Structure 1
């Protein structure tokens, strides 16, 4: 016997006790009550293949017993002290992170969320350079705090009507009317122009996601970030790379920026590092970290339980070859999605790397197929698959499953997606 109140009662309580901004997916949403690796279960016992991983969080799977054991063991001995006392777990995790972070990045400041990590990275850039302004890319999402929301260029996530004016927005490496390389070149030209107009002496850093997840899985060409870093170096402007969604094996490398053969000045991480446990960090090299000397702390950041969980996550990724697995399964998934694109004109583009892929849906008249996207999500949910959506018009199907999925899971997803797309195709061609 259970005490599940059911979806309708949860929705009622949401209206009564939460804020109106706390939206949920689906017209008929299930109440999720249990997780087991790549699967979720609702209050009726129905099983779902999770292809969104809590927005790229559960890379090692839901309720992974190996990771849970590490967290529970630590919870039984020392749960919290804060950073004003010496504990071992936080420095052990920092050391382990230094082993996998790109290039010479080795110092970490731990906090609890991606928003905090990006806020800290922006602060660090100001402290190090003595400059105030930032460049950010269109379609970027960097957080809910004041400065990170200011650096976010997706209208639906810019809730504050009076955001910081120190952010300079430039086009990203994508355009509906140009090929990828041309759009990326235009982005670099716009950045160069922004530096000239605003003055390099005023710009502390440029912040960017290597793949813009919420912005629509925008994936720059392989040469983009290397040329961008060269441009920024010429003007003594730092590069902050936001790996909150892309980090820890999701793209087939530990970090997505590694695909671009570029070492950022500052890198931010969160989400998958804790595999469901709140932990985040902004990380940098010896030179830049030395600029942060004023007293600072995070009450809960890097506490013993979160730190031991993070260590267990890094161990699990390594021991189970999740980077390699994401690369292999990502290739299989992408090939399957491209086959569906060739079959259904509704799919305009397939983009992304590894197990971070997006399928952009566009109507025959060129408009974003937002309603069709919702139809697909609803029908896949009824068939036992949970998928995400993103993009400015919420018309990009988001494939970000736990990295513990298998080939049968991908085949199941592609088969059911094919079936749902066929329903749409028949409706569109009925007359």
Structure 2
């Protein structure tokens, strides 16, 4: 095992042992006690920038009004180290959201940071009009992780831009225009990708993304069909179903809805179909086993290409496979990736087949000034090295499974926890008014629980069509001991909330 991996996990173990018996995953806290955050021997620098209130003033005056923040008092973060974040007052938080599922290998990972600093002193930028070894070496390493014939890379700068390009590729190759995506999907906020994105709070009131159509999301918890045998997860829904291993009736019913979309709302021949292997923004929604394989086949029969959006699911996060599409037993025609590709550095990519790449370049002389610059190549390569050397895909599987099973116990104890789901280190906890109705818990109540978790030192994401789902996607270096702490925080926050509910104060 690499020295970096050994030293990092030794440090994590040392931090845990320093704490002694002050907390364990099985400790019983009173409703008014807060779990003790595991120690860490990293000390942040002293905050020396502008005062908190002045930062808020700048944000209000000079930033887009659309950019909202979590929490009543927004967090002003100033430093990070691996799975930890520090605010301007030096308070430490366990990060369960990774900058929206982006910081895969850890904040300021030593190996990635060193590689970036070294390249910064050599050459930042050339543009693709010149050749530099870093991006070519990275392209070779990245394509080695993808199956044939996915071997041609187009470098871009964001997930939206990558999906924009994938749309153009699909239309260029197929010579058709209609593209299908799931309801609840998030594929970006550019003028093109807004047509694919199907989250009401994000959809604009002006024309955008023409010739994009949505189909029913095969959500086995909130949708009309599905139950306790349907998804690829260690934790199934509490809904009952008549499915059996190898024969998912819910999948068959959702496939009929997909057929209905093909027969009624798109042309006889289509350009393509976009799918996240697991929906991220919609609250970590998983589909019935076998659904995507059948849907891909039907799309190809209509002349379309199949696009896997791996922006949130790629790079080992799901544990069992490096790419999310592999867990479905499918081979896409185009794969888009961003976020975890460079651990937060603005980089993305589209990978496709030589045949599709040739058709695309015949229709468009694509050029991107910043795509594939030397710094991006070095950082991307260092991220791949860190994933391998630190055993992060394996840790996603082991620690993610451990954490998911513990979180599932919250559903057994609290009526407002409707569903716990996920795979690897990508999980969702969907909050409901009660488990029978599955109606979303009120935004006010979800906000209160969210705030309480933050106050106890835990940063959690949010998602779902009603903002009712807690999204958990920590840096992939998180340990089981830290997972225990996270579960204890959730338990404490839910216990306090139920006590307040019983007293009628929420």
- Equivalence for 2:293: 226
CA 1:44–1:257 in structure 2 vs 1: closer, same or farther (change >3 Å)? same
Query: For 2:375, which of 305, 317, 333 is the aligned residue?
Result: 305
- Equivalence for 2:359: 291
- Equivalence for 1:62: 107
Query: For 1:145, which of 178, 182, 190 is the aligned residue?
Result: 190
CA 1:160–1:109 in structure 2 vs 1: closer, same or farther (change >3 Å)? farther
CA 1:24–1:224 in structure 2 vs 1: closer, same or farther (change >3 Å)? same
- Equivalence for 1:393: 466
| Distance of 2:290 and 2:195 partners within structure 1 | 28
- Equivalence for 2:127: 82
- Equivalence for 2:41: none
Query: For 1:368, which of 440, 448, 465 is the aligned residue?
Result: 440
- Equivalence for 2:454: 381
Q: 1:372, CA displacement in angstroms?
A: 2.4
> Aligned pair count?
431
Mapping of residues 304-383 of structure 1, within 5 Å? 304-364=374-434, 366-369=438-441, 370-383=443-456
Q: 1:3, CA displacement in angstroms?
A: 2.5
- Equivalence for 1:36: 81
The Cα offsets for residues 128-158 of structure 1, whole Å up to 9 and x where unpaired, read as 1111110111000011111101111001112
Mapping of residues 144-223 of structure 1, within 5 Å? 144-174=189-219, 175-179=222-226, 181=230, 183-198=250-265, 201-223=268-290
Q: 1:366, CA displacement in angstroms?
A: 4.5
Q: 1:219, CA displacement in angstroms?
A: 0.6
Q: Secondary structure at the match of 1:292?
A: helix
Q: 1:198, CA displacement in angstroms?
A: 4.6
Q: 1:380, CA displacement in angstroms?
A: 1.1
What's the Cα RMSD here? 1.6
Moved more, 417-426 or 371-380: 371-380
Q: 1:160, CA displacement in angstroms?
A: 4.9
Q: Would the aligned equivalents of 1:51 and 1:388 in 2 still touch at CA under 8 Å? A: yes
Unaligned runs of 5+ in 1: none
Q: Would the aligned equivalents of 2:192 and 2:210 in 1 still touch at CA under 8 Å? A: no
TM-score, length-normalised on structure 1? 0.96
Q: Would the aligned equivalents of 1:57 and 1:275 in 2 still touch at CA under 8 Å? A: yes
| Distance of 2:439 and 2:342 partners within structure 1 | 38
Q: Secondary structure at the match of 2:71?
A: coil
Q: Would the aligned equivalents of 1:209 and 1:242 in 2 still touch at CA under 8 Å? A: yes
| Distance of 1:177 and 1:243 partners within structure 2 | 26
Unaligned runs of 5+ in 2: 1-45, 231-248
- Equivalence for 1:267: 335
Say if 2:94 is the partner of 1:49: yes
| Distance of 2:205 and 2:337 partners within structure 1 | 24
| Distance of 2:365 and 2:375 partners within structure 1 | 24
Q: Would the aligned equivalents of 1:114 and 1:280 in 2 still touch at CA under 8 Å? A: yes
| Distance of 2:377 and 2:357 partners within structure 1 | 20
Q: Would the aligned equivalents of 1:102 and 1:258 in 2 still touch at CA under 8 Å? A: no
| Distance of 2:89 and 2:327 partners within structure 1 | 42
| Distance of 1:429 and 1:353 partners within structure 2 | 34
| Distance of 2:142 and 2:268 partners within structure 1 | 32
TM-score, length-normalised on structure 2? 0.82
| Distance of 1:227 and 1:248 partners within structure 2 | 25
